[in-house]
Amino acid sequence: MMRQKTTSMSAEDCRDPGRGGWSRWLLAALGAVATVGCYSPAAKFELNKIAIHKRELENEATFSQQYQLTPIAKILADQFGTPDEPKLPNVPGIEDFLDLEKLKMAAGPYGSDKDGKQRGLYRQHCVHCHGINGDGAGPTAAFLNPYPRDYRPGKFKFKSTASGLPPTHQDLKRIIEDGAAGTAMPSFKLLSEDEIEALTQYVKYLSLRGEAELYMIEAQFGDLYPAVMKPADKRNEEEQKYVAELSPEEIEEEKAEFLEEVEFFESEENIVDEVIGPIVDKWLDAEEEVTVIEPKPEMDIHESIEKGRELFFSSKTGCAGCHGESALGDGQTAEADFYDDWTRFYYDPSDPSTLEGYLALGALEPRKLRPRNLRQGVFRGGRRPIDIFWRIRNGIDGAKMPAAPPIVTDEEIWHLVDFVRMGLPYDPLSENEPHQPENLRERN
Ligand code: HEC
Ligand code: HEC
């Protein structure tokens, strides 16, 4: 009884710590120390500052708070709610994609609501790595390599669909259940089926929300040039020059056009038809796009491994180019400038001058990507033959591992699967990633 009270403090307890006498209060206070959220301010979804900064550099203009950023934040709050109270966006058919009851189980502070329903799974299990808005930059993230996934671009690595498509529900569920071996992403197999389902739903929710936000920042609101809408002292040099060349009539005309655009972007019609609807459709379509695989041919395993070996070192596949003659991940094609897409979003190794600005906004220090050392027998995306088949057939999105060329047949991919699983000397001591100075981080 006592234990139950301290470990599962409810949101109700937070609001009314005095209820039930002093002993209850004491227990509640103890619980507050152990849980997150109670006496801290309500959790907030912050806007994607990195995407905003990037668009501002491209536009050579800063966003208008009043006419661009505030409306984006409002649309997102209207459609998706808050980290404590999620909502389903007002899109027809959304129920096929997300289940509000499950989202509520994952959202909010850890504990249970007034009806005793479980809440806060995401904050209990994921937030310290993946962040409250799914940006992959929670407090633990800076110490990890690879970094936790930023869900907001809607891009995932370990899935059964072709390159460029979203993962299926089952793909996400599997990675949450099994984790990603060799990375900090843990397995959550010990959670109940319902809990895993709730977390899977919540990842999709954060991803959908993040993609919608990105779209509004990179297109739509981000395509508007706000100089005329700003008070003179808020314009940067470029914006001032621009406005100085306009006649008063032209300024009025531009203002009217700007407001008309904003009004359209804010309309539910636009939000459904052009922003959220297409993203939901893309995810729903992906459910039907699982890569179909010819069954593994019956063949002597040694023979298959040998065929795989030949293919691995052939120009037809190009595998050794990246993974190296020794498969240690040190091939010629693996360049010094290998960074994954999540990093490339804000970091261009050929022009590092803008990096400082992004780091100041909370971007993580860029870390190099390496083709995998295949001699450690570690497969992040799962070690079942079918997982490895999907990796080789479709590549790994966002991480420079290309899909096998179409001339490579399914049968040949099976040989490659056999080769990487069983044809390489096991070499646990060969370090893939020596601890480079760039991976060390000063504590502050
Ligand atoms: C200790 C840190 C940590 C925790 C806690 C954590 N993750 Fe992760 N997660 C990672 C890392 C690191 C990766 C990236 C692995 C990679 O890129 O190979 C990742 C990747 C993922 C992915 C992307 C897989 C893909 O195909 O791209 C999903 C989905 C995910 N995590 C969900 C969750 C959920 C849900 C929780 C909580 C139940 C959670 N993670 C908890 C570190 C963590
Ligand atoms: C352009 C470089 C490149 C080429 C070519 C390439 N890979 Fe990779 N491969 C990578 C990178 C980078 C990773 C690590 C991705 C990550 O961090 O998740 C990787 C990862 C892998 C993995 C690990 C998957 C997992 O779940 O951990 C396997 C297996 C693999 N590659 C096999 C192959 C095979 C077989 C070929 C040839 C058909 C090939 N690769 C061609 C770059 C390449």
Q: Which one of 185, 190, 391 would you pick to mutate in the ligand 1 pocket, going by the greatest count of ligand atoms within 8 A of its CB?
A: 185
Q: For the purposes of burial, counting CB atoms within 10 Å of the CB of 293, is it exposed (0-12), middle (13-18) or buried (19 or more)? A: middle
| Ligand 1 atom at shortest distance from the alpha carbon of 141 | 2
CB-based contacts of 300: which residues, under 8 Å, 6+ apart?
A: none
- CA atoms of 90 and 336, how far apart (whole Å): 46
Tell me the best of 322, 373, 394 to mutate to test the pocket of ligand 2, counting ligand atoms within 8 Å of each CB and taking the most.
Answer: 322
334 CA → ligand 2 middle, Å: 11
Residue 167 CA: nearest ligand 1 atom is 26
Dist. CA 309–CA 273, nearest whole Å: 49
Q: Which of 234-243, 361-370, 419-428 has the lowest mean pLDDT?
A: 419-428
Ligand 1 atom 19: the closest Cα is on which residue? 148
Three-state DSSP at 401 gives: strand
Mean pLDDT for the stretch of residues 323-327: 90
- For ligand 1, atom 43: residue with the closest CA: 185
Question: What value does the mean pLDDT of the chain take?
Answer: 89
Task: Return the structure tokens found at 190.
Answer: 């010990």
- Count of all residues that appear for the chain in the document: 444
Farthest-apart Cα atoms in the chain, separation: 81
**Residue 124 scores a pLDDT above 60:** yes
Confidence of residue 270 (pLDDT cuts 50, 70, 90): very high
> What is residue 68's DSSP assignment?
I
pLDDT surpassing 80 at residue 6:
no
pTM score of the predicted model? 0.90
Mean pLDDT of 197-203: 98
Q: Using the 8-state DSSP alphabet, how is residue 118 labeled? A: E
Percent of the chain, pLDDT > 90?
78
Q: Determine the pLDDT at residue 430.
A: 63
Q: Using the mean position of ligand 1's atoms as its centre, give its distance from the Cα of residue 48 in Å.
A: 19
Average pLDDT of span 405-429: 91
| pLDDT at res. 431 | 57
Confidence of residue 80 (pLDDT cuts 50, 70, 90): very high
Cβ of 321 closer than 6 Å to ligand 2, yes or no, is yes
User: What is the 8-class DSSP label of residue 200?
Assistant: H
pLDDT tens per residue, range 18-71: 343 444 444 444 444 444 444 456 789 999 999 999 999 999 999 999 999 999
Q: Give residue 42's pLDDT.
A: 78
Query: Are residues 168 and 190 in contact, defined by beta-carbon separation less than 8 angstroms?
Result: no
Q: Which helix (H) or strand (E) covers residue 111, if one does? A: strand 111-112
Continuous segment of H or E residues that includes residue 112: strand 111-112
Top CATH class of 301-334+370-439 equals mainly alpha
DSSP state of 69: I
Q: Which ligand is nearest to the CA of 184?
A: 1
Q: What is residue 379's predicted lDDT score, i.e. its pLDDT?
A: 96
Rounded alpha-carbon distances, angstroms, from residue 183 to 104, 160, 412 = 28, 20, 29
Q: What angle do CA 322, 326, 328 make, to 5 degrees?
A: 65
- For residue 444, pLDDT over 70 is answered with no
Closest ligand relative to 149 C-alpha: 1
Residues whose beta carbon lies within 6 Å of some atom of ligand 1: 125-126, 129-130, 140, 144, 146, 148-149, 156-159, 172, 175-176, 180, 183-186, 188, 199, 203, 380
Helical residues (DSSP H) of 267-354, grouped into ranges: 268-270, 277-286, 301-312, 319-323, 341-344
Ligand 2 in reach of 404 Cβ (< 6 A): yes
Q: Is residue 106 within 8 Å of 122, Cβ to Cβ? A: yes
Q: How many CA atoms lie within 13 A of 413 on its CB side?
A: 24
Backbone Cα Rg of the chain: 25
Cis status of the peptide bond prior to 92, with omega within 30 of 0? no
Contact between 367 and 438 (Cβ < 8 Å): yes
User: Which-ligand-closest: CA of 147?
Assistant: 1
> What pLDDT is recorded for position 41?
65
Percent of the chain whose pLDDT exceeds 70: 86
* Separation between Cα atoms, residue 249 and residue 246, nearest integer Å: 8
Q: Is the CB of 367 under 6 A from ligand 2?
A: no
For 252, which DSSP code? H
Give the residue from 396, 438, 347 showing the smallest Cα distance to 50: 347
| Helix residue spans in 355-400 (DSSP H) | 355-360, 385-394
Mind listing the pLDDT tens digit for each residue in 203-257? 999 999 999 999 999 999 999 999 999 999 999 999 999 999 999 999 999 999 9
Q: How confident is the model at residue 3 (pLDDT cuts 50, 70, 90)?
A: very low
Its sign, for the CA torsion 16, 21, 24, 25, is positive
pLDDT over threshold 80, residue 2: no
Task: Tell me which of 103-117, 208-222, 330-344 is least confident.
Answer: 330-344
Q: Which long-range contacts (CB under 8 A, 24 or more apart) does 86-93 make?
A: 86/202, 86/205, 89/208, 89/212, 89/271, 89/272, 89/276, 90/268, 90/271, 90/272, 91/272, 91/276, 91/277, 91/280, 92/272, 92/277, 93/280, 93/284
The pLDDT score that the predictor gives to residue 19 is 40
Query: What is the pLDDT confidence band of residue 115, given thresholds at 50, 70 and 90?
Result: confident
Both structure tokens of 4: 């139950």
Atom of ligand 1 nearest to the CA of 199: 35
Dihedrals phi, psi of 163, to nearest 5 degrees: -50, 135
Q: What confidence category does residue 428 fall into, taking pLDDT thresholds of 50, 70 and 90?
A: low
Higher pLDDT: 339 or 438? It is 339
Min mean pLDDT across 105-109, 128-132, 437-441 is at 437-441
Sequence spans of domains, the chain:
2-34, 43-288, 301-334+370-439
Residue 40 has what pLDDT? 54
The pLDDT of residue 37 is 44
Q: Which of 387-391, 406-410, 435-439 has the lowest mean pLDDT?
A: 435-439
Q: Is the pLDDT of residue 351 over 80?
A: yes
Could you tell me the pLDDT band of residue 427, with boundaries at 50, 70 and 90?
A: confident
Query: Which amino acid residue places its CA nearest to atom 35 of ligand 1?
Result: 199
